[in-house]
Homo-oligomer: A and B are copies of this chain.
């Protein structure tokens, strides 16, 4: 029903060309992996898809039943995790999720937020301030935040970063579940994560 079309993306920073002519289409159930050396532009590409960075040329379109989704409504379709993101440190984990529910216009329901924390293995720490979270717990919370609105397009930038093996398993489950719900783009250098992709784009080639 949903689909993502990326055409001839190209990104420069001052004189340096990061990547050019990236084009692909993505359909529900598909997982795309992006890989490449550090600094090759994986995160930048994901940010362009999410609409956080403007490409130098090219465009990113999202379709719902063939109709293009206007930029303003994209927030309902995208969920994203990235190392550079952070959540509100002075709130507890549950309060963070509550905030993102409300601001996204999803009826806030404590139970479903707690269920989401259960899913990411945080239920014991739901009332801890995020400031005191360990690196892995923060990463789990970011995953929970990205999944709150069951986005048709999930952008995962290094999802397994800081996680232990249980956490990696959670990421695996998330990606498996997302196959039923929509599209996934993973940017990573971990072989294990890249292997989740049905297709792989290597930005260093």
Interface pick from A2-10, A59-67, A164-172: A164-172
Are B83 and A39 touching (Cβ within 8 A)?
A: no
Give A39's nearest chain B residue, CB to CB: B134
Are A137 and B39 touching (Cβ within 8 A)?
A: yes
Cα–Cα, bound, A134→B42 (Å): 9
CB distance from A87 to the nearest CB of B (A): 15
Q: Decide yes or no: A43 and B135 within 8 Å by CB, A140-B38, A167-B38 being known contacts.
A: yes
Q: Decide yes or no: A37 and B161 within 8 Å by CB, A83-B135, A132-B13 being known contacts.
A: no
Give A134's nearest chain B residue, CB to CB: B39
Find chain B residues with CB under 8 A from A162 CB. 38, 83, 158, 161
Interface size on A, residues (CB 8 A): 26
Is A51's beta carbon under 8 Å from chain B? no
Cα–Cα, bound, A89→B12 (Å): 21
Give A132's nearest chain B residue, CB to CB: B13
Find chain B residues with CB under 8 A from A123 CB. none
CB distance from A124 to the nearest CB of B (A): 9
Find chain B residues with CB under 8 A from A13 CB. 132
Are B158 and A135 touching (Cβ within 8 A)?
A: yes
CB distance from A161 to the nearest CB of B (A): 6
Cα–Cα, bound, A131→B43 (Å): 14
Is A150's beta carbon under 8 Å from chain B? no
A37 partner, pick from B37, B84, B135, B164, beta carbons under 8 A: B164
Give A84's nearest chain B residue, CB to CB: B135
List residues of A whose CB falls within 8 A of some B CB: 13, 36-39, 43, 83-84, 121, 125, 132-137, 140, 158, 161-167, 189
